[in-house]
């Protein structure tokens, strides 16, 4: 009886904390100023979580070499070309300190070891479930018009004042009028300001749900309470449907990655446990029908998006800038003002390289190799690396509180994989 009560208490405590953290992620773009905002509160919550979860930092000599090489290269660029570090900073020293601090947090999340790994995995599993459920319900409520006034346009206008959104209300109105004249519906962005950010949140939390649930299930910990069951399957399916329904190119890529992972990794295990050929055929049939319907519904948009990709401004901002860099930029960082884009860098992979040159490349290679090393024994290496790359490639700076919170959904569960013995999925 005492053991059962203890397990229920642990579950209840994790659920309460998960709901609080999930609400922070839902409203993470809201705030009065950059520092008085939900994203900063979520970062402090994350810091408290790390300190109270029995996390032990295991810094290696290689980690220190990577970190200090990055710091040295960033400082060099800040002296030679401050605009390459930040174009709108009033104090470049404070900006450099912030950049170094954020990188230290990212590295700390990948080199920690949890002595309470199952509780941390359960926390992220519950948080991911709550986030996906809330987002799916919000999309359903918005599309069905259950509450008067809660429409796509409502969210677009309330997002004008987001701390990381520079849209003007008159530009939003003009865009909506243009869409209406062309018969194009408004974007779905909920509280995030842009569809791609909404899709990123769904993708990252879905991957976190997969990692934490499958690992808990393999360990057989009773506190996981049916780690991979109907609830997780429904949430994951709902998240994929929402990603396709959002109709952004990135959301389609994210949903495709998840579908491939499910077909390659999850379904074979489910069929092996069920032992039923009928279950196998039924699952594949339902998946095929759902995929066909979703592709048919969204084909016109994605066809247009792909056909105009070469002339897309957002595509150029995120990926085209790298083709304008010279070999010395990859080695030392960007030190010439005439090659800095007016709108800044919208892909943090490129930004880190132009800011720190070889130091940035070393940091990225170390981070991805570390992620792959932790996740590979569990069969989650490719999925984990792609999820982290998605955060880095998202529009906006990755060295910011909101992106660090999203990265924690992948990095902290991965830090738990070294505990309890690895088993291949």
> Kind of pairing, strands 55-57 and 112-114?
antiparallel
Residue 404 to residue 42: CA distance in whole angstroms:
10
Count of CA atoms in the C-beta half-sphere (13 A) of 396 = 18
* pLDDT at site 48: 85
What mean pLDDT value characterizes the chain?
77
* pLDDT at site 356: 83
Report in angstroms the alpha-carbon separations of 253 from 110, 243, 365.
25, 9, 23
| Helix, strand, coil % in the chain, rounded to nearest 5 | 75, 0, 25
* pLDDT at site 315: 58
* pLDDT at site 320: 58
Question: Phi and psi of 175, rounded to 5°?
Answer: -65, -40
* pLDDT at site 408: 92
* pLDDT at site 5: 45
Residue 347 to residue 351: CA distance in whole angstroms:
6
* pLDDT at site 424: 40
Mean pLDDT by 10 residues, the chain (425 residues): 47 79 91 83 87 76 92 87 72 84 89 76 91 92 80 75 63 70 73 86 94 78 50 82 82 86 70 53 66 68 63 59 69 71 67 84 92 88 92 76 91 76 41
Count of CA atoms in the C-beta half-sphere (13 A) of 322 = 14
CB atoms within 10 A of CB 143: 13
Rounded to the nearest 10 degrees, the angle between the axes of helix 61-80 and helix 348-356 is: 80
* pLDDT at site 259: 83
Cβ-count burial 50-82 (b if 16+ within 10 Å, e if not): beebebeeeeeeebeebbebbbebbbbbbeebb
Residue 308 to residue 314: CA distance in whole angstroms:
11
Tell me the H-state helices in 112-194.
117-144, 152-158, 169-182
Residue 219 to residue 227: CA distance in whole angstroms:
10
* pLDDT at site 1: 44
End-to-end CA distance of the chain: give it in Å, rounded: 33
Give the residue among 222, 220, 238 at the shortest CA–CA distance from 230.
238
Give the residue among 411, 416, 50, 49 at the shortest CA–CA distance from 219.
416
The helix (run of H) or strand (run of E) holding residue 332 is helix 327-332
The helix (run of H) or strand (run of E) holding residue 67 is helix 61-80
**In a 10 Å sphere around its CB, with 0-12 CB exposed, 13-18 middle and 19+ buried, how is residue 424 labelled?**
exposed
The 10s digit of each residue's pLDDT in 158-182 is 777 666 665 666 666 776 777 677 6
Question: Phi and psi of 69, rounded to 5°?
Answer: -65, -45
* pLDDT at site 165: 60
DSSP string, 214-261: HHHHHHT-GGGSSSSSHHHHHHHHHHHHHHHHH--HHHHHHHHHHHHH
Evaluate whether 339 touches 324 at the Cβ level (below 8 Å). yes
* pLDDT at site 279: 54
User: In the chain, where are the structural domains located?
Assistant: 1-52+117-298, 58-115+308-425
Evaluate whether 190 touches 155 at the Cβ level (below 8 Å). yes
Torsion of Cα atoms, 266 then 269 then 270 then 274, to 10°: 170
Question: Phi and psi of 312, rounded to 5°?
Answer: -75, 130
* pLDDT at site 226: 46
* pLDDT at site 406: 93
* pLDDT at site 399: 78
């Amino acid at each position: 009886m005492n053991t059962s009560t203890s397990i229920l208490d642990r579950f209840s405590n994790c659920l309460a904390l998960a709901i609080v953290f999930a609400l922070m992620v839902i409203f993470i773009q809201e705030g009065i100023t950059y520092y008085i905002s939900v994203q900063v509160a979520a970062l402090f919550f994350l810091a408290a979580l790390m300190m109270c979860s029995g996390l032990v930092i295991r810094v290696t000599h290689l980690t220190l070499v990577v970190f200090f090489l990055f710091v040295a290269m960033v400082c060099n660029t800040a002296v030679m070309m401050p605009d390459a570090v930040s174009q709108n900073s009033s104090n470049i020293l404070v900006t450099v300190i912030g950049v170094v601090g954020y990188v230290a947090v990212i590295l700390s999340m990948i080199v920690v070891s949890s002595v309470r790994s199952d509780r941390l995995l359960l926390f992220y599993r519950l948080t991911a479930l709550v986030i996906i459920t809330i987002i799916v319900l919000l999309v359903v409520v918005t599309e069905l018009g259950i509450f008067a006034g809660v429409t796509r346009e409502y969210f677009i206008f309330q997002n004008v004042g987001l701390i990381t959104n520079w849209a003007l209300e008159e530009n939003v109105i003009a865009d909506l009028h243009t869409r209406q004249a062309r018969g194009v519906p408004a974007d779905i962005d909920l509280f995030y300001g842009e569809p791609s950010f909404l899709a990123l949140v769904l993708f990252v939390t879905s991957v976190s749900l997969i990692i934490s649930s499958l690992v808990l299930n393999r360990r057989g910990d009773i506190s996981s309470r049916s780690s991979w069951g109907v609830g997780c399957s429904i949430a994951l399916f709902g998240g994929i449907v929402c990603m396709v329904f959002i109709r952004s190119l990135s959301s389609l890529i994210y949903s495709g990655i998840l579908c491939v992972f499910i077909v390659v990794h999850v379904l074979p295990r489910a069929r092996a446990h069920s032992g039923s050929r009928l279950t196998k055929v039924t699952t594949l049939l339902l998946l095929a029908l759902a995929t066909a319907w979703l592709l048919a519904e969204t084909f016109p948009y994605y066809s247009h998006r792909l056909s105009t990709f070469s002339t897309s401004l957002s595509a150029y901002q995120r990926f085209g800038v790298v083709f304008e860099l010279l070999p010395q930029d990859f080695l030392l960082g960007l030190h010439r003002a005439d090659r800095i884009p007016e709108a800044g860098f919208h892909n943090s992979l490129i930004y880190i390289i132009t800011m720190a040159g070889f130091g940035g490349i070393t940091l990225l290679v170390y981070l991805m190799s570390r992620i792959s090393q932790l996740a590979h024994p569990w069969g989650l290496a490719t999925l984990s690396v792609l999820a982290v790359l998605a955060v880095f490639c998202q529009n906006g700076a990755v060295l910011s509180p909101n992106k660090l919170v999203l990265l924690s959904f992948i990095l902290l569960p991965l830090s738990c994989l070294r505990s309890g013995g690895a088993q291949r999925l």
